[in-house]
Amino acid sequence: MRRILIDECINPRLASRLRALLADHVVKTVRDLGWTGRRDHALIPQIQDRFDVFLTIDKGFEFEHNLEKLSFGIIILEAANNQMRSYEMLLERLVQQIQVAVPGHVVRISDPRR
């Protein structure tokens, strides 16, 4: 079982879709936890040791934080826009990467049409 947290900047409908596809995993959103509006530096301590994977669209995440200290893997989604249709294009690769995410490592999943 993996524990997945979805950043508030991602369409929240992605959480429902992942819950259906990954029934044996825990999928939460920043909104679910009441953490909206928190900047990364305040959010990271909350994620540490509570989640295995953090999904975000923050393209600079890996350059703004010391990845070696993180207890969770980061997946940066590069969708065409924030519509669910755009996330659907990334879904197969996203599910695969969630399974193998490694603490302190960043994986980018890009829409090949971008």
pLDDT class of 65 with cuts at 50, 70, 90: confident
Look up the pTM and report it: 0.94
To 10 degrees, what angle do helices 13-21 and 91-100 make? 70
DSSP tag of 3: E
Confidence at residue 114, expressed as pLDDT on a 0 to 100 scale:
58
Tokens of 19: 């819950």
Per residue in 75-88, is it b (16+ CB within 10 Å) or e — as a string?
bbbebeeeeeebbe
Compute the distance between CA of residue 5 and CA of residue 53 in angstroms, rounded to an integer: 6
79: CATH: 3.40.50
Q: Structural domain tally of the chain?
A: 1
Q: Residue 85: is its pLDDT beyond 70?
A: yes
Domain span at residue 77?
A: 3-110
